[in-house]
Amino acid sequence: MNGIKKSGRGNKKLVYCTIRLKGGQKLDKAIVLLEKNLIKHAFTEGHELLNIQGAKIQYHEIGFKGSLTTLDLFGRCILVPLT
């Protein structure tokens, strides 16, 4: 919680969900996939994220050029978490 306390002013969000499995899906695998993709989505939206220890998650900022459609979807850069 120290990472949240030290983050300064502004909005803070806690993301949680309920997982609905389809037949044959395994909960442990679904949780891992969901978490990875929620993190990727948050980075593409430009949100600053903290890991479970409260430290900021490090990322690469990748700039690129593209068509107007690409720019509308992604802007001029994408943030990608270091793995």
Tell me the per-residue pLDDT of 7-53, one tens digit each, with 9 for 90 and over. 667 777 777 778 889 899 999 999 888 888 887 777 777 777 776 66
Query: Span 57-82, mean pLDDT?
Result: 73
Higher pLDDT, 28 or 76: 28
Cα–Cα distance for residue pair 13/7, rounded to 1 Å: 12
CA angle 48, 43, 73 (to 5 degrees): 135
pLDDT at 4 over 70: no
Domain containing 40 equals: 2-81
Q: Which residue has the tokens 């948050």?
A: 42
Q: What is the number of domains present in the chain?
A: 1
CA angle 52, 60, 19 (to 5 degrees): 45
Which one-letter DSSP state was computed for residue 75? T
CA angle 63, 69, 70 (to 5 degrees): 20
